[in-house]
Chain A
């Protein structure tokens, strides 16, 4: 007899009788069936399951999630305040250019995403769908909307599920910044889906900062239509446990994707990025760079998969994982993987694990810079390659600047 997975916990989650009902039912069933992913599965073998179990010991956040959606024009912030706890989020203060998704549209998105493959158990997503009663879904359909800010902040020891669906209509250019903050034992489960239509550009950044044993599990699902540009920058710092899953699909190829990531870990933190980019058409482009800095007894994981099926001729993809170990007790696992069938492609990937260069340190010291400062300079230089590439003007984003201060003061 198979033991049912956390039955009390699952049964204690209020169920939804609206648009999410069906998804939720399915997800709960799946969660009951499969439970915590097994160590034997490739995607989860490196994850410390004790961290995941803690998610199920937390009460579910019911109504006080602070999720703010800000619209920013010309350096001025005009607030579009969206809160999860009532349906009015869909009506309130939506400015021109942002339109709430109808129930039908949401259903369509959910069903497209819910075609579950039997042999693939998407735990990150399932836990979100099983527990989540709220969802923000909207589309951007005007050039007026240049940048959006989504703030998600949790400060109590609760499980906080959030889900955002964004459709970016044809021919637009939008910056989307998400700032996820967690403290005092809060555990986030965040799911964001972005559909980018033809000829649109989306610069997406997720700056996630945790403290006081906060945890984060997030999935980023992006579908790119042709001639679209998508750039993603993810920063993880300070979480006791965080796991970002990125899945980008170029639906018809002929699109550009840039992915940058930075994981800064210390103490006994475990930070992970699992990314999967798939080219479902020709002439696709991907450039990915993932960096991690590890101190103390921390653990960093990167698992990157690039899939180039036969249809994806003339794909150009590169992937690089760079890791800086600062402590002899820290550990890195990195696995940049390629799966290629098309023959007319240019793909390469690389990985390095190293420490700060003694030569470089010595050079700086010989110029009168003390060792601590020299270390700091080199670490900053390592981070800057990612931070400089943040797609968004730092100055426009007060929260971002604050978050970056936090990162640079490592």
Chain B
């Protein structure tokens, strides 16, 4: 009894990023049709090929059905009730940070992402996306010295149309799935990264996504290309205000790594998760996929998923190049009525390809946390290796933890190992920590962090501590 009440106390938390900024924005009317798509394309002054791309996607999307296979129940989304483009007013005119609505700068300050030159982080370049539009990208010039391109995807469409034409929609085809098709039709903004041959990107790149308006869908699109022997580490963070309606977030991320290139993509996802009763929150339906195109290329996904009312994403690797490597490190924490259905697909095509999957799920409250993963070893993937480990931790007896691994192999010379476990916080461990004077709350939080250690070790330094404290926040009763 006392135990239960302390545990539930520990689980109460408030969302500290739930504030709404007063920013005047320009929205197009609700709904989706060809005219809306043309309008978005016109607003963004896009070349014809991109408009064609969007229209093709829209045609595909209209023919597709919303997927239901994951047995995730949510009220039907009315796609005509969503605003597909929203931008802070007069955004085009702004050339420098000084011109940006101070309210927006304040928003990012509050989120811990200061954009102005005095305060900004010295070793991380940031692309800040507010609703549908990229607000600012820091350190662009410095990166350009090495030939690294880091800008919003809208800007890339204008400046580097050939690269966009060559790579957009190649890893995630427009008809890949329902939400990817929708994104391809209406995507608003996102980040573009290009690392030229032989360059190790000199600093961490990061995008920060903020949904501000309540009825606007967020459809960002990210494309990262690492040429031969190039490498980059990219971070992504997300928050949104508290609304009692659900907002759809359907992003597409495409990564391409050529020979000997490596891309590390880290996400800390903290969209608003809805309240205790599951009212409001973001539907986070995201398609993320990387193509290890070159030999010895490497793509590593790491994610800490704590927000959103429903998360539905499987960052994947297509291991095409010989000896290419795919990695997936994930922590997903769900509480209250949250649902997370996440995992990865490792598609082994090339010889001697290797993949590692480490997934840690923590379910508390009445939440549902599922790992769903696929390991596919193709007939030509001689010497392919996969190791998967999926652990679940249950807190309280109303939470659900599911593990659905799918393993398919056609290759005799391959090695696949999958391990999974489900347990609760051990009373003996808890007592040991408490007998050393550590409070119940802190002890649980320490053990949860300990449970996630393998994954946190994979996060970039700045993120590891952020992730740790984020989990702490989610679990602790006290938030400053």
Contacts and interface: CB of A to CB of B under 8 A. Distances in A.
Q: Do chains A and B touch in the complex (CB under 8 A)?
A: yes
A390 B56 CA distance: 59
Contacts of B394: 340, 342-343, 345
Interface stretch (A120-128, A204-212, A326-334, A375-383): A326-334
Contact of A327 (B402, B407, B412, B418): B412
Contact of B397 (A310, A346, A351): A310
Contacts of A334: 407
Interface in A306-363: 310, 313, 323, 325-355
Given A332-B408, A333-B407, A352-B416, 20 more contacts: A310-B397, A327-B412, A329-B379, A334-B407, A337-B402, A338-B402, A338-B420, A339-B400, A340-B394, A340-B400, A340-B402, A341-B398, A343-B396, A345-B422, A346-B421, A350-B420, A351-B416, A352-B417, A352-B418, A353-B407
A335 B423 contact: no
A299 to B, nearest CB: 9
Given A331-B408, A345-B424, A354 B399 contact: no
B200 interface: no
B251 to A, nearest CB: 26
A345 B409 contact: no
Interface in B365-409: 377, 379, 392, 394-409
A340 to B, nearest CB: 5
Contact of B418 (A326, A336, A341): A336
A338 B405 CA distance: 9
Interface of A: 40, 42, 310, 313, 323, 325-355
25 contacts: A310-B397, A313-B397, A323-B409, A325-B412, A325-B414, A328-B379, A328-B412, A329-B410, A337-B403, A341-B398, A341-B399, A341-B400, A341-B401, A342-B394, A343-B394, A343-B397, A343-B399, A343-B424, A347-B422, A348-B419, A349-B403, A349-B418, A349-B419, A352-B415, A355-B412
Interface of B, secondary structure class, is strand
B404 A335 contact: yes
Size range of the chain B interface in the assembly: 35 or more
B8 interface: no
A344 B409 contact: no
B417 A346 contact: no
A269 B423 CA distance: 38
Contacts of B423: 345-347
A80 to B, nearest CB: 44
Nearest to A328: B412
A332 B407 contact: yes
B411 interface: yes
Contacts of A344: 397, 424
B199 to A, nearest CB: 38
Interface in B86-142: none
Contacts of B414: 325, 353-355
A335 B405 contact: yes
B340 to A, nearest CB: 14
Nearest to A334: B407
